[in-house]
Amino acid sequence: MKKLSFRGGIHPLAKRHEGKAETSGKPIRDFVAECVCIPMDMHMGPPCKPCVQQGEHVKLGQVIGEAVGRFGIPAHASVSGVVTAVGPVQQLRAQPSLCVTIRNDFKDELAALEALGDVESAPKHRIIPAIQAAGICGMGGAGFPTHAKLRLPEGKAVDTIILNGAECETFLTCDHRLMLESPGRIVDGLRAVMRAMGVARGVIAIEDNKPDAIESMRRAAQGRDGVEVAVLKTKYPQGGEKQLVTAVTGREVPGGGLPMDARAVVINVGTAAAIADTVIEGKPLISRVTTVTGAVKDPSNLRLRVGTAFADAIKSAGGYREAPGKIFAGGSMTGTCAPDDSVSATKGTNGIVTLTEREADAAREIQCIRCGRCVMICPARIMPYRLMELYERGELNTAKQEHVKDCIQCGSCSYVCPSKRRLLPSIKSAIEQLARRRNR
């Protein structure tokens, strides 16, 4: 069987099964916290406007933050209970986020949206608005509002919907478990999107280190119109949007462009399942599967209500095995560091990983020895060592000419560098400075 892939890439934590062995066999378990703190800026774009007050009683699924603007999506109560606070709380972003805190009464009184019914018969034109109303955004991490991705600008056409089941990031097994436990829902979500966009081909792309998931999705895809499963080579960052488009369609996303510029749309498998839940049951996005692992006693895949504190999730995973030296949301390649464990899991939190102090100890950085490793593996095929040099010398214009903006921020270069150069942070700063310069 042909295995699809891209050029470049690495095998992070190869000797530790990418950090996945501890959780890949663990079935998804529900966890409901006593209290949730829901940020209004869980998605990319304008944050929601809170529409509930302190002391107010809310139902499960009730809108607590209204969508702002055409790209905005609402936030919903992920538990029923009483609003105890509306105000800024330090989350994963640099500045505190406006949050709505709800104490759970564990009644789970439901305020569902209107269901559209079976994905094959639901009215096509109502699917994308329903996705927006359900507050669905990309669940692979970035949190781009899904309806905005599906609503193509004038003149753009797409011929392939790709479901991203690669899960190439280290430590994460939430998508893997979802593909084993709810394959039907994932295919339903894909079909809903295909129908809404009028696209005939849907590809579920999975890395070959998950043969059980491939098997499970194949079975679920049987007899469904235009749905196929593609097997990818296990390699990081195989699940990067651009890499996935290239692996599946053979086309490249033009520099500075989006997958739709290569006539494809990429959606995470978790997002697809959430879309199916909305279309079939009218369920807004109020929970998601998160892999809680690392230096915890009982690494787990938990279905967490949106807004669950990291501390509660970690407690449910047996608590700390050792005092944490670092905690991040996501995998170890691109995860975002948490300042402490009080922050909330959001719609995009696919993993909560803790490292021991020893593991978190930063290695000393020395000079580049021009070994070429970063150059060899960069999936964007730019020159990481050189861009870092240019950034350090302040030569941002040259860096721009040398395609610094095409960096997909996968971190592979930093990972392989024997001199432990902080390549990605420098490249990221260069990109940010260029963006700021343009805005000025």
Partner 1 sequence: MTLPLSTGPHILGKRTTRGIMLDVLIALTPAAAAGVYLFGVRAAWVLGVAVASAVATEALWQRLSHRPLQVGDLSAVVTGLLLGLNLPSSAPLWLAAVGSAFAIVVVKQLFGGIGHNFLNPALAARAVLLTSWPARMTTFFLPERTLLPVASTAMVGDAVTSATPLVKSGTAMIDLFWGNIPGTIGEVCKAAILIGFIYLLVRNVIGPHIPVLFVGTVALMTWLLGGDPLTAILSGGVLLGAVFMATDYVTNPMLIVSQCLFAALCGVIVVVIRQSAGGYPEGVTYAILLMNVLTPLLDKLFKRRAYGEVKQRA
Of residues 292 through 321, those in contact with ligand SF4 by CB under 6 A are: none
DSSP state of 165: E
| Sequence letter at residue 372 | G
**202 DSSP β-pair partners:** 161, 227
Burial profile 390-421: b = 16 or more Cβ within 10 angstroms, e = fewer: bbeeeebeebbeeebbbbbebbbbbbbbebeb
User: What is the C-alpha to C-alpha distance for residues 283 and 287, in angstroms, rounded to an integer?
Assistant: 10
CB of 360 to partner 1, least distance (A): 7
- Given the rule CB under 6 A, which of 25-33, 49-57, 345-353, 416-424 is the region that contacts ligand SF4? 416-424
Residues in contact with partner 1 by CB under 8 A are: 7, 10, 12-13, 170, 242, 246, 252-257, 324-328, 330, 332-341, 353, 355, 359-360, 362-363, 366-372, 375-376, 379-383, 385-386, 403, 406, 411, 414-420, 422, 424-425, 428
Residue 213 has φ and ψ, to the nearest 5°, of: -70, -35
* Closest of 257, 193, 251, 261 to residue 226, by C-alpha: 193
Q: Which does 252 bind (CB under 5 to 8 A by kind): ligand SF4, partner 1, none?
A: partner 1
If binding is defined by CB under 6 A, does position 369 make contact with ligand SF4? yes
Sign, CA dihedral 308-314-316-317, equals positive
- Given the rule CB under 6 A, which of 93-101, 149-157, 309-317, 369-377 is the region that contacts ligand SF4? 369-377
Q: Which is nearer to ligand SF4, 87 or 418 (CB)?
A: 418
CB of 225 to partner 1, least distance (A): 31
CB of 47 to partner 1, least distance (A): 21
Beta strands in 11-71 (DSSP E): 29-31, 35-39, 49-50, 57-58, 63-66
Rg of the Cα trace of the chain? 21
Q: Which is nearer to partner 1, 202 or 351 (CB)?
A: 351
User: What is the C-alpha to C-alpha distance for residues 350 and 41, in angstroms, rounded to an integer?
Assistant: 17
CB of 330 to partner 1, least distance (A): 8
CB of 408 to ligand SF4, least distance (A): 4
CB of 392 to ligand SF4, least distance (A): 12
Q: Which is nearer to ligand SF4, 281 or 392 (CB)?
A: 392
| Sequence letter at residue 405 | K
Angstrom CA distances, 362 to 12, 68, 255, 325, stand at 17, 40, 33, 11
CB of 419 to partner 1, least distance (A): 5
> Within 10 A of 50 (CB to CB), how many other CB atoms are there?
18
Of residues 334 through 363, those in contact with ligand SF4 by CB under 6 A are: none
User: What is the C-alpha to C-alpha distance for residues 146 and 136, in angstroms, rounded to an integer?
Assistant: 6
If binding is defined by CB under 6 A, does position 382 make contact with ligand SF4? yes
Q: Which is nearer to partner 1, 298 or 406 (CB)?
A: 406
Q: Which does 110 bind (CB under 5 to 8 A by kind): partner 1, ligand SF4, none?
A: none
Q: Which does 152 bind (CB under 5 to 8 A by kind): partner 1, ligand SF4, none?
A: none
Residue indicated by tokens 């580049």: 368
Q: What contacts 334, CB < 8 A, 6 or more positions away?
A: 141, 169, 409, 410, 411
Q: Which is nearer to ligand SF4, 83 or 374 (CB)?
A: 374
- Given the rule CB under 6 A, which of 123-131, 165-173, 224-232, 413-421 is the region that contacts ligand SF4? 413-421
Residue 321 has φ and ψ, to the nearest 5°, of: -85, -25
If binding is defined by CB under 6 A, does position 371 make contact with ligand SF4? yes
DSSP state of 423: H
Q: Which does 255 bind (CB under 5 to 8 A by kind): ligand SF4, partner 1, none?
A: partner 1
Q: Which is nearer to partner 1, 118 or 392 (CB)?
A: 392
Q: Which does 254 bind (CB under 5 to 8 A by kind): partner 1, ligand SF4, none?
A: partner 1
If binding is defined by CB under 6 A, does position 399 make contact with ligand SF4? no
User: What is the C-alpha to C-alpha distance for residues 403 and 435, in angstroms, rounded to an integer?
Assistant: 14
Residue 195 has φ and ψ, to the nearest 5°, of: -70, -45
In the complex, the residues that contact ligand SF4 under the rule CB under 6 A are 368-374, 378-380, 382, 384-385, 407-413, 416-419, 421, 423-424, 427
